[in-house]
């Protein structure tokens, strides 16, 4: 792969694996390296260390970006527990996770905004998506729902039942992009219906169920 003079996006570049990848990439002489992390402090600290280690690189060679790539852009800097505890934010998360995957859903995602901003030619995924998605307590969420159902039988407590149910939905391991496939015709197929967008690049792709690379490929096609 030709990396020279190209923009490289390293997802999870603030971690141990990601920062090691960034160091290896320097030797390939890319145009710039976009380094992402969940927290601003992590991204900026990683970039500071790399700039000190490679002082001859241009000032904008290492570029930090931070936020949660698994949620829409306006929620990217909000802790997940805060999103789930807030009814409005929780509804956004449920819509983006379980509703049909439309181009509008894609375009408001944080990873789409990231790719649209920097337009990287190469994306390296160093995010442990199991940490981001899989380790959620679906059992405790389910227990809360069952408790509220029992209480609701004895009294009208629909608000609490709704809140508990929505929080359960937020723990499902089904990011909306995982149901998306792409064919050489450029047609994206969500779980319940098909849509075709002129902005989607006609290119075959292979998707896995949790990797952010899958979402990144989709966003990359739509952003150019």
pLDDT, tens digit, for every residue of 156-209?
667 777 787 777 777 765 554 433 333 333 333 333 333 333 333 333 333 333
Whether 35 and 119 share a structural domain: yes
Residue 93 is encoded by which pair of tokens? 């998360």
Whether 123 and 163 share a structural domain: no
Q: Is residue 122 part of a domain?
A: yes
**Phi then psi for 35, rounded to 5 degrees?**
-110, 120
Whether 15 and 41 share a structural domain: yes
pLDDT(219) > 70? no
Domain that holds residue 209: 7-80+101-135+197-223
Whether 218 and 128 share a structural domain: yes
Exposure of 3 in the CB half-sphere (CA atoms within 13 A)? 17
Q: Is residue 187 part of a domain?
A: no
Q: How many whole angstroms separate alpha carbon 35 and alpha carbon 52?
A: 15
Whether 156 and 217 share a structural domain: no
Whether 67 and 150 share a structural domain: no
Q: List strands edge to edge, sheet with 187-189.
A: 181-182, 187-189, 195-196
**What pLDDT score was predicted for residue 141?**
72
Whether 109 and 150 share a structural domain: no
Mean pLDDT of 110-125: 96
Number of structural domains in the chain: 2
Whether 37 and 129 share a structural domain: yes
Whether 154 and 215 share a structural domain: no
Query: What CATH number is given to the structural domain containing 13?
Result: 3.40.50
Q: Is residue 75 part of a domain?
A: yes
Whether 17 and 108 share a structural domain: yes
DSSP string, 73-133: GGGTTS-HHHHHHSHHHHHHHHHHHHS---HHHHHTBHHHHHHHHH--SEEEE---HIIII
Whether 14 and 115 share a structural domain: yes
Name the pTM for this structure. 0.68
Q: How many whole angstroms separate alpha carbon 118 and alpha carbon 98?
A: 28
Q: Which of 24-33, 75-84, 129-138, 150-159 has the highest mean pLDDT?
A: 24-33
Residue for token pair 């999103």 = 83
Are 219 and 109 contacting, i.e. CB atoms less than 8 angstroms apart? Answer: yes
Of 71-80, 182-191, 207-216, the one with minimum mean pLDDT is: 182-191
**What pLDDT score was predicted for residue 143?**
77
């Amino acid at each position: 792969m030709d990396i020279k003079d190209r923009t490289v996006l390293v997802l999870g570049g603030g971690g141990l694996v990601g920062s090691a990848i960034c160091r290896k990439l320097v030797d390939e002489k890319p145009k710039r390296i976009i380094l992402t992390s969940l927290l601003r402090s992590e991204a900026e600290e990683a970039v500071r260390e790399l700039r000190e280690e490679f002082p001859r690189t241009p000032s904008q060679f290492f570029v930090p970006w931070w936020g949660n790539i698994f949620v829409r852009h306006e929620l990217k800097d909000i802790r997940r527990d805060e999103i789930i505890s807030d009814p409005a934010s929780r509804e956004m998360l449920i819509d983006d996770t379980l509703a049909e995957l439309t181009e509008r859903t894609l375009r408001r995602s944080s990873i789409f905004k990231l790719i649209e901003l920097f337009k990287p030619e190469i994306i390296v995924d160093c995010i442990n998506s199991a940490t981001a998605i899989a380790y959620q307590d679906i059992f405790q969420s389910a227990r809360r729902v069952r408790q509220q159902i029992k209480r609701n039988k004895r009294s009208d407590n629909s608000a609490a039942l709704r809140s508990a149910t929505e929080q359960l939905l937020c723990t499902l391991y089904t990011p909306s992009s995982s149901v998306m496939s792409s064919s050489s015709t450029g047609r994206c197929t969500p779980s319940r219906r098909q849509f075709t967008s002129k902005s989607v690049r006609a290119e075959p792709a292979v998707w896995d169920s949790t990797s952010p690379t899958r979402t990144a490929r989709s966003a990359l096609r739509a952003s150019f």
